[in-house]
Structure 1
Amino acid sequence: MSALPTAAELAGIAPAHGRHVRLLLLTDTPVLAAGGSERFLRNLIAGLPADGYEITVVQLNAQLGEGIERAPVFARPNVKVQVIPVDAVYGRRGLRALWALRRRLRDEPFDIVQSHHEKADLLNALLPRRPGRLHVSNRRDLGFKKSRKLRQAFRLVNHRFDAVVAPALEILVALAGGEGVDRQRTVWIPNGVDTGQFRPPSPAERLRARSELGLGASDLVLGCAARLVPVKRHVDLVAAFAVLHAQRSEARLLLVGDGPLRDDIRRQAEALGIADAVLLAGNREDIDAVLPALDIAVLASSSEGMSNALLEAMACGLPIIATTVGANGQLVQHGENGLLCPPCEPDVLAQAMLELAEAPVRRRAMGNASRARVQADHSVETMINAYERMYQRLLEPA
């Protein structure tokens, strides 16, 4: 049992505004980027009530940093942002960032310092402690990027966090076993999605989305929103889609996102003779305008935390095909709102695609189940409520 509140305890309970909270958020990645971790952070910043929270965001990455203070998420009077680029924590920039954060904590009475990703976590762990200030690590994935040395380093510093929070129970279990995180200091808060922004489309919205993407009204469209990086296993996704396309020539694969594997994916599609059926849409800030074009959402990753991309697709009423990694098994009930496949097995993934391609009525039923599941358990309001309850619980006098 965790000494901190569990998701069940936090969900559905009105937040307790016991005190005004000064919150310092540290993150490795560009807050304005298109990834799921970044969308989570934007939702958290925008969702915490302005009358209860004063928020400072420090981004340890120069990308998308120019003019960042003018972004809508930072336009609220209770939110400030600063960019402090860090290449490596142990390098010169890392040391400068550490001293800049120490000065900031000396001059401003923050109640909670919360970090996201490895560099931010290490800096957070190295910051001095003082009574009344809490340090929280927010782990977003299973740590697939961590080297053995980095895991050993985290084993040495994890005790310095007052709480470790994650969107998936699998992450917390892995941290306890692999990094020695004390389960008494862990809390599970699932990701949430804006069910007003992400919703099933009308027939007109569906046709408009397809027209803008160059897709036909009768096309069978499978889509994946994910960075084009090895862990997302686009190589398996494209290979599986080739099997589907051989039997269903109207099938199209829409890949939303960008990354270092873009050219490799294009070459693979050309080699398989399906280049015309694979659309590389690049990064899209309006993913809510793209999802209405899909018939099926697919995620073939070899590692995940709790995928915001899946949640958004589910909120739009889509059936899901996903691999059995991370929290995918929590989001997708096999046979109810989608199909689950083992990772790195494109033949099995292809069979799942063929199964749903031949069953439009079943797809609609699965899509309805996806939407209902998100509304019940994964709204952004439920997530924000849970974070508020966690903060207030942590700040309660011992």
Structure 2
Amino acid sequence: MNDDDRPVLLEARGRSLHITLNRPRAINALTHTMVRLLDEALAGAERDEAVTSVVLSGAGERGLCAGGDIRALHDDTRAGGRDSLEFWRDEYRLNARIARFPKPYVALMDGIVMGGGVGVSAHGSVRVVTERSRVAMPETGIGFVPDVGGTRLLARAPGELGTHLALTGRAVGAADALLCGLADHHVPARRLPELTAALAASETAEDARRSVRGFAEEPPAGELAAQRDWIDACYAVDTVEEIVRRLRDSAAPAAARAASELSARSPVALKVTLAAVRRAARLGSLEAVLDQEYRVSSRVREEPDFVEGVRARIIDKDGSPQWKPATLAEVDDRTVARFFAPLGPGERELGLAPDPDAAT
């Protein structure tokens, strides 16, 4: 098998293990096989005393990772299969492994980094963005809910920036990723080869961290810092209906655009996403959040909006999903609560949190 046929490439470069996601035509979208290979590689690197750091990058020029293999998840869900549940189970466990990985895990978040791509990068200990980075959790646009620990990441962003990004699914550049706590350092894309060479030469974990800091530069100006006033004012409530009302009443032109974006999103996904972010802010660990997200994902696949959203946005690309129900008013509190309830007989909880009731 040549490298073109391998979905994940592993290369020892000096003291670093360089992992490359290798599906460039799909912007390195994650398959179940890739998740398993990543997990195996990290387990080996953790035990290998010769490895002082792990570096994650994506093949091609378009980005690190566009997320999970949405078409495969769509097809499995539409057919009533269970492969998607097993994919999420292994993916979320991988996210937890990345977060607790004991050596520098340097994620090169160059280009597009969305959904599952955030999960394999933004939980790392050293997260590098470039001027080309576009980081997003765009799930509400396809009738899904932010997962891979994304609700915890967004819940911890300053003020209501994370709520804004979770509901709209909007992508941010380097400066805003740093502001929101999704990244640690900005390194110009042209210097990434130099950075990876320096990491390969790093003899210790601290040398590796020092190398990254040495290449970091101020990023181009972002947008969100100047928008904090209207974002915090509009999103600091606990119903999507009130958020939309405040956005429409705001004098900020950008607020009106956000209201328009929300009007095109799945009403169920919006309400469950808001509840998930608020709940994630109260949970004590990433593991508890991932347990919660697994429950939500398990329930989302039972709703029609995920299949319909993927059809409209990705498969047919008509851009006109027919959400069910079609309005926020039709999504009541009982419907939302069902997504967070313990899974039923015959269903396995993810069970990452020490207390099995930690995510209730």
Bigger helix share = 2
Bigger strand share = 1
Please say whether Structure 1 and Structure 2 have the same fold, judged by a TM-score greater than 0.5: no
Higher alpha-carbon Rg: 1
Q: Which TM bucket (shorter chain)?
A: under 0.3
**What TM-score does the superposition give when structure 2 sets the normalisation length?**
0.28
